[in-house]
């Protein structure tokens, strides 16, 4: 009973915080659209929607009282497929190259706000998945899987940003996608940028999660 109460309390707090943050970000977007008379950054709403899909999946998984292994396995695959969309928003800073000089500061603030929301969705979702995995695996195996998740997510971000692959192309265009991935693996020296990006972003995600969990634990201890 205490577990259920704590889960409801945690879920309420996380959803409330996310709602406030995302709502503020959308207001900021509307201000930008009004000042610039442009909807250039409207695509960020779609990116944030994609970032929310993994969190929606883990919310469901955590709520299932008796989760079957096959259900977890299938859900984990779909979750991992969409998860890179959350931290992907960080790389939308790329679009600042095309900004309008007089509102450059606003564009930085806007994309940073969307990126922050994406990273919060990312870490809340990973936290939920950790909770689910611990029902089936020990802490060591769970930690190993989560570390893998951070680096595979970084690799997924690279595929999305620089090779322009979407999550669903594993179903619609698997042959070309797998050929590109295999080429990167068998020719690592010719794809140094890929692995440097994956290593640094994976480490960044890991460090961010460590900070996130420690702040979260400290917050719970103060309650």
Contact at 8 Å (CB) between 143 and 202? no
Query: Can you say whether residue 98 is alpha, beta or left, with left for phi > 0 and alpha for psi between -120 and 50 degrees?
Result: alpha
pTM over 0.95? The answer is no
Domain that holds residue 178: 2-222
Coil, helix or strand at residue 39: coil
Please answer whether residues 105 and 35 qualify as being in contact, where contact means their C-beta atoms are separated by less than 8 angstroms: no
- Please list the helix, strand and coil fractions of the chain in percent, rounded to the nearest 5, in that order: 85, 0, 15
> pLDDT at position 125, please?
97
d(CA 132, CA 111): 31
Q: How far is CA 191 from the centre of its chain?
A: 24
pLDDT tens for the chain, 223 residues long, are: 444 455 555 677 888 899 999 999 999 999 999 998 888 899 999 999 999 999 999 999 998 888 999 999 999 999 999 999 999 999 999 888 776 677 889 999 999 999 999 999 999 999 999 999 999 999 999 999 999 999 999 999 999 999 888 888 887 888 888 999 999 999 988 899 999 999 999 999 999 999 999 887 766 655 5
In the structure encoding, which two tokens stand for residue 17, read together? 């915080």
Per-residue pLDDT tens over the stretch 136-187: 999 999 999 999 999 999 999 999 999 888 888 887 888 888 999 999 999 9
Q: How far apart are CA 173 and CA 5, in angstroms?
A: 44
Give ∠ CA 201-204-209 in degrees, rounded to 5. 130
Number of domains in the chain: 1
- Alpha-carbon torsion, ordered 68, 3, 137, 218, to 10 deg: 140
Task: Give φ, ψ of 41 to 5 degrees.
Answer: -100, 15
């Amino acid at each position: 009973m205490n577990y259920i109460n704590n889960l409801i309390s945690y879920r309420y707090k996380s959803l409330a915080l996310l709602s406030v943050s995302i709502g503020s970000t959308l207001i900021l977007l509307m201000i930008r659209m009004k000042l610039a008379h442009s909807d250039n950054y409207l695509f960020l709403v779609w990116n944030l929607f994609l970032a929310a899909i993994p969190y929606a999946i883990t919310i469901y998984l955590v709520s299932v009282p008796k989760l079957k292994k096959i259900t977890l396995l299938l859900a984990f695959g779909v979750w991992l497929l969409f998860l890179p969309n959350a931290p992907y928003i960080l790389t939308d800073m790329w679009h600042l190259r095309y900004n309008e000089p007089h509102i450059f500061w606003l564009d930085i603030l806007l994309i940073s706000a969307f990126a922050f929301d994406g990273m919060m969705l990312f870490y809340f979702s990973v936290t939920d998945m950790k909770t689910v995995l611990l029902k089936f695996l020990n802490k060591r195996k769970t930690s190993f899987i989560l570390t893998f998740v951070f680096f595979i997510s970084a690799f997924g971000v690279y595929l999305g940003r620089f090779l322009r692959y979407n999550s669903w192309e594993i179903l619609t265009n698997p042959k070309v996608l797998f050929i590109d991935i295999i080429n990167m693996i068998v020719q690592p020296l010719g794809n140094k940028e890929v692995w440097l990006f994956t290593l640094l972003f994976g480490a960044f995600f890991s460090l961010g999660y460590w900070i996130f969990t420690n702040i979260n634990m400290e917050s719970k201890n103060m309650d």
